[in-house]
Amino acid sequence: MVMKDNNSNFTNGFIHDNRGQGAVELILIIGGIIVIILLVVSMYKSYLVDLGKEIDSNEINTLNSSFGDIASKFE
């Protein structure tokens, strides 16, 4: 009586199955791109924060000068 090893057949079939390879490669590529984007953003974080403060500062100065011009017309 010969007994078949079902576990061995499953393992061999699983190792030689390539159906999900394309999906896994795509997931790895997308994950790599996300990691690169996060690294670039973290490196330029201080630059972006300073740029935001500069823009806010310029807008506030412009707004203050506009209010000053309006207030001078009512004097």
pLDDT tens, position by position, 28-71? 999 999 999 999 888 888 777 777 677 667 777 787 788 787 87
DSSP line for 25-40: HHHHHHHHHHHHHHHH
Q: In whole angstroms, how far apart are CA 68 and each of 12, 53, 59, 63, 74?
A: 81, 22, 14, 9, 10
pLDDT tens, position by position, 2-28? 455 566 666 666 667 677 888 899 999
In this model, does residue 1 exceed pLDDT 50? no
Confidence (pTM): 0.47
3-state secondary structure of 75: coil
Structure confidence at residue 25 (pLDDT): 92
